[in-house]
Structure 1
Amino acid sequence: MGNGSGMPVLELLFVFVLVYVLQFITAFAGVVESLFILSPPIAQNPWTIVTSIYAHNGTGHLLSNAVALVLFGWPVARATTRLRFHLFFIVSGAVAGITQIVVSDAAGVLGASGAVFALFGYLIVGNRLSSSLVQAVRVPTWVTLVVFIVIAAVVTLATASPGVALIAHFAGLLVGLLAGRIGLLDTGPRRQRTEPTGA
């Protein structure tokens, strides 16, 4: 159990709105793509690996990510430290965005969905009930990984709609599930988890 608060979620909401305003302002100068949209080749504008996580493609996109962030991020933020929460959000969002660009033929990607899906995945697996279940029902690591991939695929397909970065959603959720499984954001002592040997 962590000693955190919901403050990181409020900070992210503020950054979302601030970046959205900056997107609007920079659109007049014609530089919004080079500042906020992660697109190939990534090395051309490497800062977009981070800035694209906080940028959104319209008010509806911003609001849907904000609502999901509050729902899934609040409990995670309260169970960890502010620094760990923000680093997890950035790294999982970056992994999701880069995966979308590398795996698909996307011209560009932006939005917090990958990071929000990572928080959702962490919330599913990193809670006390899930940890207790894992202790009671021990399965080989490879089975856990297969189950996580199936969960990520099912949830991703359930959220499918035109223009949605499905690969980023899948990658973010998978990162969150794996991070939750190892307790990456835990601040207290971790219960000993032993894995069975053999196949």
Structure 2
Amino acid sequence: MRATLETLAVALLIGLAQLGLSVVGLAGIFALSTPLSVAPWTVVTSVYAHGSIGHLLANALALLLVGPLVERRTTRLRFHAFVVGTGALAGVAQVTLGGLLGPSAAVLGLSGAVFALGSYLLAGNVASATLFDRLRLSSRTQILLFGVVAVVLTATTAAPGVALIAHAIGAFCGLVAGRTRLLDVR
């Protein structure tokens, strides 16, 4: 549970920095938005930053549910790289693809990474692997199935202001990584 707690500690530190900087109107320096070249550090900081205490608590609770289960299968370094990588990819997808659909809003939070961790568990467990092996689905069919599952998982969190594209991308990345057992060290 060490890597999970370290992830939460970074989120809390960023949250405290956001709070302190909000006094001088700079809390937004952690938020990811387009164009990405204006503040490239936000590709990473936005993963740990949150829009409110409630947002942080919701992501923390979800992370505490799935993080320790993934940790058992991997190393601390791989865990942190997966959280940053999937969280950053989900955020970048949200601001770029979301911008194609309408005005692009800044994005914050661990939810893309949390969806990736949860989906990793869903696709990377023994029961799922056995099912996929028995069904003998082609790689293309599996990718299509993962896309459908990612959309279904994302629909469960649909609400105004929720980064649905980030959730879907995180879920999809987790499903693919789980199927390939990307994080497993055993």
TM range (shorter): over 0.9
Give the superposed CA RMSD: 0.9
1:37-56 pair list within 5 angstroms: 37-56=31-50
C-alpha separation in 2, matches of 1:10 and 1:128: 26
1:74 equivalent to 2:62? Answer: no
Give the paired residue count: 182
- Note if 1:9 corresponds to 2:7: no
State the partner residue of 1:194. Answer: none
Based on CA coordinates, which of the two structures has the bigger radius of gyration?
1
Higher share of residues assigned helix: 2
Alignment partner of 1:64 is 2:58: yes
Look up the match of 1:111. Answer: 109
Letter of the 1:14 partner, please give it: A
TM-score (norm. length: structure 1): 0.89
Pick from 10, 23, 26 the counterpart of residue 28 of structure 1: 23
Task: Report the alpha carbon displacement of residue 107 of structure 1 after superposing the two structures with TM.
Answer: 2.2
Q: Deviation per CA, 1:94-149, whole angstroms, max 9, x where unpaired?
A: 00000001101322000000000000110100112212222222111111111101
Moved over 6 A (4+): none
Offset, 1:13: 1.3
Q: Is the partner of 2:23 in helix, strand or coil?
A: helix
- Describe the superposition over 1:144-169 as per-residue Cα deviations: whole angstroms up to 9, x where unpaired: 11110100111111210011000000
User: Is structure 2 residue 98 aligned with structure 1 residue 100?
Assistant: no
Q: Which residue is equivalent to 1:187?
A: 185
Query: Which blocks of at least 5 consecutive residues in structure 1 are unaligned?
Result: 1-5, 189-199
What TM-score comes out, normalization by structure 2 length? 0.95
| Residue type of the alignment partner of 1:162 | P
Of all paired residues, the percent bearing the same amino acid is: 48
